[in-house]
Structure 1
Amino acid sequence: MRHLAGRVWWYPHDEDHDNVQGGVAVIADESGSVLVDAGNSPAAARQIRADIEAAGLPAPRRLVYTHHHWDHVWGACAWPDVEVIGHRTGARILDAEARRPWGHRYLREELAANPLLGPSFRARARAMDSWNDFTIVPPHTEFDDALTLPGGIVVRHVGGRHAEDSTVVAVPDSGVLLLGDCFYPPPYHLRKPGDTYDLELIRSLLDENDLGRFDWYVDSHSHPRTGSEVRQLLASLSG
């Protein structure tokens, strides 16, 4: 875990993209820290918890989902004492996901039925060292458009092609905007030819709006970027 800026700490993504472990943010607060995403498994969540304790940060009190995809929510059952916050659309999806018979056998059956699920389901199998006591945790607190948490943290629904419930988390006093996967193309099994990054969504988040401007723009599967680095990325993708 590294200190990013202000009261924001960052547990980085796994450089091996086959493992599909995104970064997790910790927004420190003496009244109880805020997690942004849960890790891709209970094992990952336990490692993050150990790093939070080692860094001397206040224990988490709230957990915000940037969206419902498994690599962002499957660690939540290892955070039993936190309030889980997520968009209403994602909550309905996770209610259904929680009723599925997750386990290695079920993953094999689903993969046989739809080989396009291969990258995701093989990564899920690698992430889970045990299915004992595993549960998917739908949000306890739901929102539609935006929610402001204690300490001035702003949770904002932005949608997009990657996930309809995609949400960003702004920490204005630290100059950090946490993006989740909001501007990514759709997941592999839903992707069509020509699907790519949502450049208009990136531009809208870079432009000055009621969220403000930020020093750091952090998506889940890359290294944190400054505003100038995001503009360079935009230029390369637009070219």
Structure 2
Amino acid sequence: MALRHLAGRVWLFPGDPDPFAVRPTVAVVADDRGSVLVDAGQSPAHAREVRAALAAAGLPEPRWLVYTHHHWDHVWGACAWPGVEIVGHESAVAPLRAEAARPWSHRYLREQVRENPLLGHSFRARALAVDSWDGFAVLPPTRTFTDEVTLPTGVVVRHVGGRHAPDSAVVLVPDSGVLLLGDCWYPPPAHLRTPEDGPDLALAASLLDDDVAWYVSAHDEPLPLAEARAALAGG
């Protein structure tokens, strides 16, 4: 699969529309000073696909990797991006350290699902995503922030929180008119969701800005501003 140019410096490696794959979109903000990778991919294999597409497109290697939040499908590819500085919200450190200490294997995944069947959707997707556990590691951020941080390339990472993950951050590329949303406005993960939980439309609406032309959620197609406004008005 090839990278798809969205606008300005922003390129997308599209996610898998099959919800059982749990494979989000990965974004690249290309810059000669070193590109910014937004989310790591959901496995080392996924990350290697993104890396190959990056090379095929002739774009600069990533220097920074931004986690939009700590969920596995956004961070498990990080160990396949050596040499990058990993940027994430300070509240992502503790859960990722805990995840890093778990004895990940296909056997462990099966055991966890037997103990808690609600984990089935997520853990089966993990089992399909990782073909080998050799060299696999869950990596916490190496650079953290509280409210907002601006990277040397002008990319702005802003904490927004939300019910999906308390550490959720959005990534603004001002010169390209693009806002990368991660999963911030989605409901909580399936194993934590109640029948009353739905999309956080108020959070999504608060992020709309006339200076932003494109809104990119990790598991949906990018929306131009007019379509994003219409979608929220209809919701």
Does residue 105 in structure 1 map to residue 103 in structure 2?
no
Q: Which secondary structure does the structure 2 equivalent of 1:18 belong to?
A: coil
Counterparts of 2:46 and 2:118, CA distance in 1: 25
> How many angstroms does 1:235 deviate by?
2.1
Counterparts of 2:61 and 2:154, CA distance in 1: 18
In the alignment, which residue of structure 1 is the partner of 2:10?
A: 8
Deviations for 1:98-151, whole angstroms, at most 9, x for unmatched residues? 000001111011101110111100000000111111000110001111001112
Counterparts of 1:126 and 1:38, CA distance in 2: 17
TM-score, normalised by the number of residues in structure 1 = 0.96
Deviations for 1:37-76, whole angstroms, at most 9, x for unmatched residues? 0000000000000000000000000000000000000000
Counterparts of 1:233 and 1:190, CA distance in 2: 26
> How many angstroms does 1:12 deviate by?
0.6
Size of the alignment, in residue pairs? 233
Counterparts of 2:195 and 2:53, CA distance in 1: 40
What letter corresponds to residue 137 of structure 1 in structure 2?
L
Q: Given the alignment, which residue of 227, 230, 233 partners 2:231? A: 233
Q: Given the alignment, which residue of 204, 207, 229 partners 2:206? A: 204
Superposed, which structure 2 residues align to 1:52-63 within 5 Å? 52-63=54-65
Deviations for 1:147-184, whole angstroms, at most 9, x for unmatched residues? 01112111000000000000000000000000000000
Superposed, which structure 2 residues align to 1:65-214 within 5 Å? 65-207=67-209, 213-214=211-212
Counterparts of 2:57 and 2:30, CA distance in 1: 11
Paired residues of 2:33 and 2:153 also in contact (CA < 8 A): no
Q: 1:24 to 1:192 in 2, by over 3 A?
A: same
> How many angstroms does 1:207 deviate by?
4.5
Counterparts of 2:49 and 2:37, CA distance in 1: 14
Q: Which secondary structure does the structure 1 equivalent of 2:138 belong to?
A: coil
Counterparts of 2:193 and 2:230, CA distance in 1: 25
Percent of aligned positions that are identical: 64
TM-score, normalised by the number of residues in structure 2 = 0.98
Counterparts of 1:15 and 1:88, CA distance in 2: 30
> How many angstroms does 1:232 deviate by?
1.7
RMSD between superposed Cα atoms in Å: 0.8
Deviations for 1:173-220, whole angstroms, at most 9, x for unmatched residues? 000000000000000000011100001101110146xxxx30000000
